[in-house]
Homo-oligomer: A and B are copies of this chain.
Amino acid sequence: MKAAIVGATGIVGQQFIVALHKHPWFEISALVASERSAGKRYADAIRSESTGALGWYCDEEMPDEVGGMKVTSSSSIRPSNYDVIFTGVEADVAKVLEPKYAEKTAVVSTASAFRYEEDVPVLVPGVNNAHVRLLEVQRKKRGWKGFITPIPNCTATGLAITLKPIYDRFGINFVIMTSMQAVSGAGRNPGVLSLDVIDNVIPYIPREEEKVQRETRKILGKLSGSSVEPADFNVSSTCTRVNVKDGHTESATVSTKKSCDVEDVKMAMKKWSGEISKLGLLSAPKEMIVLHDDPMRPQPRLDRNLYDGMATSVGRLRRDDAVPNGIKYVLVSHNTKMGAAKGAVLVAELLKKEGYL
């Protein structure tokens, strides 16, 4: 299948390149960026004119064949030439571009622009596959041949995954979560300055908490007719930034509806965790949740790369006696793998399996 990457010179775009390179189902057929980059070889487009330094920000090396591809401008591509368009641009740009593309073909997006629209699912494969049917509603309602399917905010992703088996089995009254987020989540423009975060914690990330609170409920909600009924519990989040490169750490307290002990929750997580493997999605982790007994885990540097950054690590699972039926734990989720481009590729794989691509 032919894939285009929009925003290909940016940090998320580069992660798309890594996630799609040598992918057996998708072929990178177009690298799309702004007018300034259009017409250049990709390697030249990301090279600094003044210093000659390469603006390549993934830990993996840039594939040589990608470096030699020509960059196309976002206005000049023909969406119908591609089976799927992956977009890694800011919300305001996405707002304009994605509907144009979706008229003709499938769009899988990391942007927040359309997440809160009624006919738009926020998919996490393995968690809410059924929401995919909302795409039919979307197509019909908007008269599009394609559709827009955004992935969630990277902080909501790990939280929703860990809540899923708890919610299904025990119900949830409320969730209190404090995150310690990695700097890569802010990207490069402007990103987080070393100046600001060195020897420091930044207690606020603009617009992040609202996203986490709202998207978690939508992800875990129930498809009902032509929209998703949000899950019936409140989420409270405090999102902070710490001096970590990759991997969001979250400390969560969950008050469940049914009483349950720690072992029940572990069992529920383990049981649910492996089901993802039955779907046959290439980018999926072997287990959605990796449980740690060592109290010093999970740690972002040690655990973010489990199953190539696609697993969510959970540790310190224990009672929380301060609230009714309280359970608490710490999770680590890779914000630029499962939480961004590679998570979007996983969604595309689900779409293909479900016949939407």
Contacts and interface: CB of A to CB of B under 8 A. Distances in A.
A323 interface: yes
A84 B121 CA distance: 61
B51 A206 contact: yes
Interface stretch (A31-39, A69-77, A134-142, A288-296): A288-296
Given A180-B201, A204-B296, A236-B322, A195 B330 contact: no
A294 B240 contact: no
A50 interface: yes
A355 interface: no
Given A194-B194, A251-B178, A295-B51, A321 B236 contact: yes
Contacts of A315: 203
Interface stretch (A52-60, A152-160, A218-226, A263-271): A52-60
A51 B245 contact: no
Interface in A220-260: 233-236, 238, 240, 242-245, 249, 251, 253
Contacts of A198: 183, 194, 198-199, 243-245, 301
A300 interface: yes
Contact of A330 (B240, B245, B297): B240
Contacts of A163: none
Interface residues of A, number: 63
B236 A323 contact: yes
Interface in A188-215: 188, 190-204, 206
Interface of A: 50-54, 57, 59, 174-176, 178, 180, 183-184, 188, 190-204, 206, 233-236, 238, 240, 242-245, 249, 251, 253, 293-302, 315-316, 320-323, 326, 328, 330
7 contacts: A53-B204, A174-B323, A175-B322, A176-B176, A194-B243, A198-B199, A203-B316
Closest 7 CB pairs of A and B: A236-B322, A234-B322, A53-B296, A178-B178, A178-B251, A174-B322, A200-B301
